[in-house]
Structure 1
Amino acid sequence: MASEDVKTSESAVSTIVNLAEEAKLAREGVKAPSYAILSICKSLVAGGVAGGLSRTAVAPLERLKILLQVQNPHSIEYNGTVQGLKYIWRTEGFRGLFKGNGTNCARIVPNSAVKFFSYEQASKGILYLYQQQTGNEDAQLTPLLRLGAGACAGIIAMSATYPMDMVRDRLTVQTDSSPYQYRGMFHALSTVLRQEGPRALHKGWLPSVIGVIPYVGLNFAVYESLKDWLIKNKQFGFAEDSELSVTTRLACGAAAGTVGQTVAYPLDVIRRRMEMVGWKDAASVVTGDGRNKAPLEYTGMIDAFRKTVRHEGFGALYKGLVPNSVKVVPSIAIAFVTYEVVKDILGVEIRISD
């Protein structure tokens, strides 16, 4: 027993010493493997919480936006933001406002986690290459380089979670009048896979990736550049001790979201419509003859653009823009601020702008 106690004591001392060494390494800027892994996990958790919270806060507007994007122009049910929300409430009740949000969170949590983490890693890599190229070790990321890092993060996150995004949109569009009902995310995934094949899970991927480059890229670039500018221009009184208030960061996030979504919105409409192709039992989606049967068939992204403009006019590329604008401003703002706040709570020293 004595020898076991001695071994236990030695083990405890060894553990304390190891923890102390890791803490020392962390303070000195040298990350031990376990510390680095823990930091990565914390960063991923912060990104996931930010995504889930921000998307749930605007779930009713998210659903209405998608319904407006894909509804049949000859059978209008959702006509504007307020009327659309009232119609959903009247026909489907409170739960109808959040239909598809569970699947959306199941998608957005890993998507947001990967996106924020990928942005941090891409920023570090691009900054290192930029410093090597210029020979200036004190060089900082320019807005253009931040745009590139954001684009990389958006492509990685979108590609990693796209099948979940595709079935989320179908669950969101599904109404009580839909002839066939998906029972949930996994049922939708298995049904699409069985009835339409593996490629169906990636319908609309190309316009999504093309759209995510300016959208996510501009989100990060505008947000980070605005923060840096406000901190450097202290005469405006927004920064105290190189820190911005939560309100100011929310405003920066709102500006970033507005710029990004305005540029990328037409591609978002096209990818939603391409995701509906092949869904024979959809209700209230775009058709060629005005009747509620199968959606228009698109051979690709260019064909979808051409048919949308020909049948409905150029304005169709901006259907749902109003609820999306109302949604995206608080959504992006909440996501950025939540990410930084959660990282502060978890004790992660590095922020997305470091």
Structure 2
Amino acid sequence: MASNDAAAAAAPGRGGQAAVVAELPDDSKVPPQVKSPPPNPILSICKSLVAGGVAGGVSRTAVAPLERMKILLQVQNPHSIKYSGTIQGLKYIWRTEGFRGLFKGNGTNCARIVPNSAVKFFSYEQASLGILWLYRQQPGNEEAQLTPLLRLGAGACAGIIAMSATYPMDMVRGRLTVQTDKSPRQYRGIFHALTTVFKEEGPRALYRGWLPSVIGVVPYVGLNFAVYESLKDWLVTANPFGLVQDNELSVTTRLACGAAAGTVGQTVAYPLDVIRRRMQMVGWKHASSVVVGDGQSKAPLEYTGMIDAFRKTVRHEGFRALYKGLVPNSVKVVPSIAIAFVTYEVVKDILGVEMRISE
């Protein structure tokens, strides 16, 4: 019987050539130390979330003074100007509140941005895989790769999920950032602010400004990921300036890609960010920076909705008001987005996570 099997294996095939049978290795004979263990999906998810959280915390802390200055410029009352510009505003904060004043609200910001960034990067990876799988189901697209438009869609999904999951933290962070030592209402911290707003203004107040936030996050986060990934792909493929070494981009080049992505995204979405921030202040009549005079609520900000906020802002302050705080935001966004992308990839390398956001 064994000789018959051997003869059959050596017999010519239909094409007239002898069929070659490769002996496949038996897995049971491979020593245990040689076998590579299957990847643990739970561990991989946790590593991705950790990398995203670290990226968010590092990038926001690096630009915390500019973040606070941006918010103060966005919400200050046009009839009671304290901050005439970025440099003057930072000097004023330093003089009146000291070094700690420059980082006021950063703890709350990091408490929000760490889970936000973790969810955002992880959601982008999963949305990219899902969108690409759906795209490949179409006839003729079986071997398709992610295009800038598909990346834009994946980034938009990631932004909406992350924003919605952490929005109450963003809302109270804005109020903690705006309040000063002279504000009659003093929030003592994140939990106190959350509970106070919930009790005094109702649960819906925690999501005030959510709609312009979600609308704004679609172009902002979507363009961030799309521009960053597309720029990297183009540089690796075309290598126009000789920047690619061993099919890899340097940290400096990736920082530049992140800076370009952040600049494009924030410029498009900035007016919605201004409206969101102003709507978050509605109902807080003791916010010293959004009332006329010396803390008296003579002209508090009141908007009935997103459209009303747009209309009143443009009517009373002009179209340029939609870009209040753009200068510190632009200076902030360039390093912030760049640091976030690069930190995410570096931390994933350190943790040994195979999948990159490009894949």
TM-score, structure 2 length as denominator? Answer: 0.89
Relative to structure 1, the CA distance from residue 137 to residue 149 in structure 2 (aligned partners, 3 Å threshold; closer, same or farther) is same
Q: How does 1:49-60 map to 2 (within 5 A)?
A: 49-60=54-65
Find the aligned partners of 2:291 and 2:141 in 1 and give their Cα distance: 55
Q: What's 2:74 paired with?
A: 69
| Contact 1:281–1:294 (Cα < 8 Å) also in 2 | no
Q: What's 2:184 paired with?
A: 179
Relative to structure 1, the CA distance from residue 281 to residue 240 in structure 2 (aligned partners, 3 Å threshold; closer, same or farther) is same
Secondary structure of 2:138's aligned partner: helix
Q: What's 1:147 paired with?
A: 152
| Contact 1:122–1:152 (Cα < 8 Å) also in 2 | yes
Shift of 1:238: 1.1
Shift of 1:235: 4.2
Find the aligned partners of 1:239 and 1:293 in 2 and give their Cα distance: 60
Find the aligned partners of 2:230 and 2:321 in 1 and give their Cα distance: 32
Amino acid aligned to 1:227:
K
Whether 2:119 is the aligned partner of 1:114: answer yes
CA RMSD of the aligned region, Å? 1.7
Q: What's 1:28 paired with?
A: none
Q: What's 1:4 paired with?
A: none
Shift of 1:168: 0.2
Q: 1:104 aligns with which of 94, 97, 109?
A: 109
Q: What's 1:263 paired with?
A: 268
Q: 1:188 aligns with which of 188, 193, 215?
A: 193
Amino acid aligned to 2:106:
N
| Contact 1:155–1:212 (Cα < 8 Å) also in 2 | yes
Q: What's 2:84 paired with?
A: 79
Whether 2:341 is the aligned partner of 1:340: answer no
Find the aligned partners of 2:242 and 2:292 in 1 and give their Cα distance: 54
Gaps of 5+ in 1: 1-15, 26-30
Gaps of 5+ in 2: 1-30
Shift of 1:295: 2.3
Shift of 1:287: 6.0
Relative to structure 1, the CA distance from residue 235 to residue 205 in structure 2 (aligned partners, 3 Å threshold; closer, same or farther) is closer
User: For residues 58-114 of structure 1, what are the alpha-carbon distances to aligned partners after superposition, in whole Å with 9 as ceiling and x for unaligned?
Assistant: 000000000000001111111111101000000100000000000000000000000
Shift of 1:20: 7.1
Find the aligned partners of 2:89 and 2:303 in 1 and give their Cα distance: 27
Find the aligned partners of 1:110 and 1:339 in 2 and give their Cα distance: 13
Find the aligned partners of 2:34 and 2:74 in 1 and give their Cα distance: 56
Shift of 1:135: 3.7
| Contact 2:80–2:291 (Cα < 8 Å) also in 1 | no
Find the aligned partners of 2:177 and 2:152 in 1 and give their Cα distance: 31
User: For residues 157-205 of structure 1, what are the alpha-carbon distances to aligned partners after superposition, in whole Å with 9 as ceiling and x for unaligned?
Assistant: 0000000000000000001110110000000000000000000000000
Find the aligned partners of 1:233 and 1:180 in 2 and give their Cα distance: 57
Whether 2:317 is the aligned partner of 1:312: answer yes
**Which has the larger Rg?**
2
Find the aligned partners of 1:273 and 1:287 in 2 and give their Cα distance: 15
Q: What's 2:98 paired with?
A: 93
Amino acid aligned to 1:65:
K
TM-score, structure 1 length as denominator? Answer: 0.90
Secondary structure of 2:211's aligned partner: helix
Amino acid aligned to 2:148:
P
| Contact 1:64–1:320 (Cα < 8 Å) also in 2 | yes
| Contact 2:259–2:337 (Cα < 8 Å) also in 1 | yes
Find the aligned partners of 2:306 and 2:318 in 1 and give their Cα distance: 17
User: For residues 280-324 of structure 1, what are the alpha-carbon distances to aligned partners after superposition, in whole Å with 9 as ceiling and x for unaligned?
Assistant: 211011569x96545221110000000011111111100000000
Q: What's 1:240 paired with?
A: 245
Secondary structure of 1:56's aligned partner: helix
Q: 1:165 aligns with which of 164, 170, 185?
A: 170
| Contact 1:70–1:285 (Cα < 8 Å) also in 2 | yes
Q: How does 1:269-284 map to 2 (within 5 A)?
A: 269-284=274-289
Shift of 1:234: 2.2
Find the aligned partners of 1:188 and 1:211 in 2 and give their Cα distance: 25
User: For residues 19-72 of structure 1, what are the alpha-carbon distances to aligned partners after superposition, in whole Å with 9 as ceiling and x for unaligned?
Assistant: 976x343xxxxx4xxx11101000000000000000000000000000000001
Q: What's 2:235 paired with?
A: 230
Q: How does 1:321-332 map to 2 (within 5 A)?
A: 321-332=326-337
| Contact 1:69–1:319 (Cα < 8 Å) also in 2 | yes
Secondary structure of 2:290's aligned partner: coil
